[in-house]
Amino acid sequence: MFEKVLIANRGEIALRVIRACKELGVRTLAVYSEADVDSLHVQLADESICIGAAPSTESYLKIDRIMSAAEIGDVDAIHPGYGFLAENPHFAEVCESCNIKFIGPSSRAMQAMGDKNAARVFARKAGVPVTPGSDGIVETDSDAIKIAKKIGYPIMIKAVAGGGGRGMRTAHNEPSLKSAFHSARHEAEKAFGNEQIYLEKLILNPHHVEFQIVADSHGHVVHLGERDCSIQRRNQKVIEECPSPLMTPGLRKKMGNDAVKLAKSVGYENAGTIEFLVDQERHFYFIEMNTRIQVEHTITEEVYACDLVKEQIRIAAGQPLSPHVAHATPRLHAIECRINAEDPEKDFQPSPGRIAFYYAPGGRGVRIDSHVYTGYSVPPYYDSLIAKIITVGATRINAIDRMRRALDEYYITGIKTTVPFHAAIMRSAEFRDGNYDTGFIERVMSSGKLELSTPATQLRE
Amino acid sequence: MELKDLKEIKAIIDLMKKNDLSVFEIEKEGFRLKLQRGTPDQTTTSAPPGTASLPKIAIIPAETGKPADTSSLKDIVSPMVGTFYRAGSPDGVPLVDVGKTVTEDTVVCIIEAMKVMNEIKAETSGVIAEVVAENGKPVQFGQVLFRVR
């Protein structure tokens, strides 16, 4: 097992990794920006080193400074969390050449699946169904029109270097395709430094269902079931649940086997997620693989009774898959709500600032993964996720009602949060019926039907 | 600046004598105390006869204390994470010392990061008033290296 691990991240995931390390008896080194001096992960780590100014490009993305800190701190391994450098093959390579274990897949596997178009090729080769689309990169708008005609509208234009819901455009007909094609390329160049795009058929009203993969360095690859992440706003997940309401044991077996097949075919190691779209007829199509631990790994942990971050560290340290992970079976139902520092009444405008008072719910079946506390100032430089609330129940409705109860207790003042938004979703009939798809939030917001709940509890501070 | 209780200092001196310790150093917010038995650098100070065996007491304000005129002191801070060296080579002479005049382009120290020696420029002009960082010790981003008047 490692002696010391550097956590190359911040916020709730840095805290998550530190907790796993502490339970494993591994010492922790936190690196942080000047904006995160008082962050909980910095305070709880055994050691900490400031690596730069607030902007991510000046700190959390500075590979040289992180490696310097790793050298000074004499660490054995680096956990990249999610976002930042977690899916940066160059960073993984630098770690490899410095003999510091990168807690995740090899840079080669990361590279293979990081190019979204190449990942589709791997999927096809492995016999995994992919969304009908272009057989590679689309160079010109006339090529795009030709391919779109073959696949059929509506069409999704995606950046090969994109992912996480970014770098995507839709075109519902030929006249709009040309301009969508060019604006997608332009945005891709600006956002990812790579203008290459490919086309996919837009699956209408799909469910976004992803499978958790865990693979050790001894060739064992297993899947830990699925997560339904269809509740999204602007292609960003807001609510996830495990298991998926539309899953059947037969479908889970098929999709799970395909996920494992694909991971094995690229020699994948450590934790990863294979994302699929599932249409109304329960046809599934591979869309992309995330070569990192994900935000919503928590609900899989609750249902499959495991600690995925500890398992990541164990795998990186060379240990074989833990028996309880290798033979995990699902129990109960779990839901996660991502609480952001955003104002749901003002189109989810970011709401950074000082949290005047913070009280998180508790009780049976409630888990909170959060780095914030009373008096903490949410900085404006990073993503707005301040907490993840996870509830577990014997049935899906139990988990939903428990989440409703817990959200009503969640008391945060000083900044605006999306707690009332989530509380309203938990009360929505469509969500409770499990009858939703990726268009749900859009529909329910534009229909004005979602009544933002004010918390049932008003705590006297 | 806080002075440790004279009684406490005497107690430390006794402990040092009893355990045959030659150097005792303690650093806290606002103050630093170094006690040294014997006089290895007798050439730099002229000790009165009969006091050769008395420990020398040097009370040095730590960098977190407020110096006399803060307003005119500028900080040279580390632009990177690494190990701070005062000289360009292991046996070299320190690049700057207290009293040295610097301009923006004056190389004031080396910070080693990942086996690369980086020359750090003053980026300000004036006279070195204080050497804050310790030779051979790690420094983090934003850490004060020197103070310039």
Residue boundaries of the structural domains of chain A = 4-103, 132-201, 207-446
Of the options 3.40.309.10, 3.30.1490.20, 3.40.50.720, 1.20.810.10, the CATH number for the domain spanning A132-201: 3.30.1490.20
Residues of A in contact with B83 (CB under 8 A): 72
Q: What is the pLDDT of residue B24?
A: 77
Q: What's the pLDDT tens digit per position in B97-140?
A: 999 999 999 999 999 988 889 999 999 999 999 999 999 999 99
Of the options 3.30.470.20, 3.90.420.10, 1.10.800.10, 3.40.50.2300, the CATH number for the domain spanning A207-446: 3.30.470.20
Q: What is the pLDDT of residue B51?
A: 41
Neighbours of A297 (CB within 10 A): 26
Element containing residue A342 per DSSP (H, E) = strand A342-343
Cα angle A161, A162, A164; round to 5: 145
Contacting residues for B100 by C-beta, under 8 A, at least 6 apart:
B127, B128
Backbone dihedral region of A98: left (phi > 0), alpha (psi from -120 to 50 degrees) or beta? alpha
Per the prediction, chain B carries an average pLDDT of 77
Q: Which residues of B touch A (CB under 8 A)?
A: 80-83, 113-114, 138, 140-143
A65 with B141: Cβ contact below 8 A: yes
Q: Mean pLDDT lowest for which of A299-303, A420-424, B30-34?
A: B30-34
Q: What's the predicted TM-score (pTM) here?
A: 0.82
Check pLDDT > 90 for residue A84: yes
Q: Mean pLDDT lowest for which of A279-283, B8-12, B142-146?
A: B8-12
In a mutagenesis test of the A interface, which of B81, B83, B84, B114 is the best target, namely the one with the most A β-carbons within 10 Å? B81
Mean per-residue pLDDT, B7-13: 77
B82-85: strand order across its sheet: B116-121, B107-113, B82-85, B138-139
Kindly indicate whether the domain formed by A4-103 is annotated with CATH number 3.40.50.300.
no
Q: What is the pLDDT of residue A254?
A: 97
Residues of B in contact with A59 (CB under 8 A): 141
Check pLDDT > 70 for residue A1: yes
> Which CATH code fits B70-148?
2.40.50.100
| CB burial string A147-176: b at 16+ within 10 A, e below | bbeebeebbbbbbbbbbeebbbbebeeeee
Residues of B in contact with A67 (CB under 8 A): 114
C-alpha distances (whole Å) from A203 to each of A132, A155, A244, A438 are: 9, 9, 18, 10
User: How far, in Å, CA of A51 to CA of A44, rounded?
Assistant: 17
Mean per-residue pLDDT, A364-384: 96
A53 with B114: Cβ contact below 8 A: no
Higher pLDDT, A109 or B90: A109
Mean per-residue pLDDT, A182-201: 89
Per the prediction, chain A carries an average pLDDT of 94
Q: What's the pLDDT tens digit per position in B60-81?
A: 444 444 445 556 799 999 999 9
Instruction: State how beta strands B107-113 and B82-85 pair.
Output: antiparallel
Q: What is the pLDDT of residue B1?
A: 40
Q: What is the pLDDT of residue A164?
A: 66
B69: its two tokens:
């005129």
Mean per-residue pLDDT, A219-227: 98
Residue A109 confidence class, pLDDT cut points 50, 70, 90: very high
Angle between helices A419-427 and A396-409 (to 10 degrees): 150
Check pLDDT > 90 for residue A325: yes
Check pLDDT > 70 for residue A335: yes
| CA-based radius of gyration for chain B | 18
Mean per-residue pLDDT, A436-454: 83
CA dihedral A373, A374, A377, A381 (to 10 degrees): 30
Q: What is the pLDDT of residue A450?
A: 78
Residue in chain B lying closest to A95 (CA): B114
B83 with A72: Cβ contact below 8 A: yes
Q: What is the pLDDT of residue B63?
A: 44
A292 catalytic per annotation: yes
Check pLDDT > 60 for residue B3: no
B26: its two tokens:
């303690």
Q: What is the pLDDT of residue A145?
A: 94
Q: What is the pLDDT of residue A191?
A: 82
Residue boundaries of the structural domains of chain B = 6-60, 70-148
Mean per-residue pLDDT, A134-148: 92
A67: its two tokens:
């490696």
Q: What is the pLDDT of residue B71?
A: 65
For residues B76 and B146, is the Cβ–Cβ distance under 8 A? Answer: yes
A-B contacts (CB, under 8 Å): 41
Residue A11 confidence class, pLDDT cut points 50, 70, 90: very high
Contacting residues for B99 by C-beta, under 8 A, at least 6 apart:
B127, B128
Residue B14 confidence class, pLDDT cut points 50, 70, 90: confident
Nearest beta carbon to residue A65 from set B80, B83, B138: B80
Higher pLDDT, A259 or A459: A259
Q: Mean pLDDT lowest for which of A6-20, A304-318, B28-42, B120-134?
A: B28-42
Q: What is the pLDDT of residue B46?
A: 40
Question: Quick check: helix, strand or coil at residue B53?
Answer: coil
